[in-house]
């Protein structure tokens, strides 16, 4: 992600790129955690069908603990992703403030390329 645009642009593009990568990794970790959560809950529900009394109460407690752990993991992941997204946005904002014409040029180039791609598909 090290574009050489001058005046610290390499640093800013790296900050934005690493922020986007970190958000992607957080999303992947969250998806994995959710899949594990669903599998654990399904296993507990299947095993609790034949339970009664104290065993059923223990199964309910296990389900509650697993739900609490999943909520905690979700909160941590969301907080981390939001923090990384804010840092990427701040780096982008700083770069655009320092290099407005380069940012306009990059935006125009991206818009032009998207226009070419869309025109070819039609």
Categorize the per-residue pLDDT at 103 as very low, low, confident or very high, splitting at 50, 70 and 90.
confident
pLDDT of residue 114: 95
Rounded CA-CA distance 63/46 in Å is 12
The structure's pTM equals: 0.45
Beta-carbon count within 10 A of 84 CB: 19
Lowest mean pLDDT segment, chosen from 34-43, 76-85, 98-107:
34-43
Q: Which tokens in the block code for residue 9? A: 């642009």
Nearest CA-CA partner of 27 in 77, 70, 61, 76? 77
Q: Where are the domains of the chain?
A: 9-121
pLDDT of residue 73: 80
pLDDT of residue 40: 79
Name residues whose C-beta falls within 8 Å of residue 18's C-beta, 6 or more positions apart in sequence.
1, 88
Q: Which tokens in the block code for residue 31? A: 């998806």
pLDDT of residue 5: 44
pLDDT digits (tens, 9 = 90+) for 105-122: 999 999 999 999 999 987
**CA 9, chain centre distance (Å):** 24
Name residues whose C-beta falls within 8 Å of residue 62's C-beta, 6 or more positions apart in sequence.
44
Any idea what DSSP says for residue 6? S
pLDDT of residue 31 exceeding 80, the answer is: no
């Amino acid at each position: 992600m090290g574009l050489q645009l001058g005046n610290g642009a390499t640093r800013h593009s790296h900050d934005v790129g690493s922020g986007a990568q970190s958000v992607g990794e957080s999303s992947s970790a969250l998806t994995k955690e959710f899949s594990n959560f669903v599998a654990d809950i399904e296993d507990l529900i299947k095993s609790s069908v034949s339970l009664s009394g104290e065993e059923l109460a223990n199964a309910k407690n296990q389900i509650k603990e697993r739900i609490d752990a999943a909520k905690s993991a979700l909160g941590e992941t969301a907080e981390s992703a939001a923090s990384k997204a804010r840092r990427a946005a701040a780096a982008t904002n700083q770069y655009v403030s320092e290099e407005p014409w380069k940012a306009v040029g990059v935006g125009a180039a991206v818009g032009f390329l998207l226009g070419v791609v869309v025109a070819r598909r039609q």
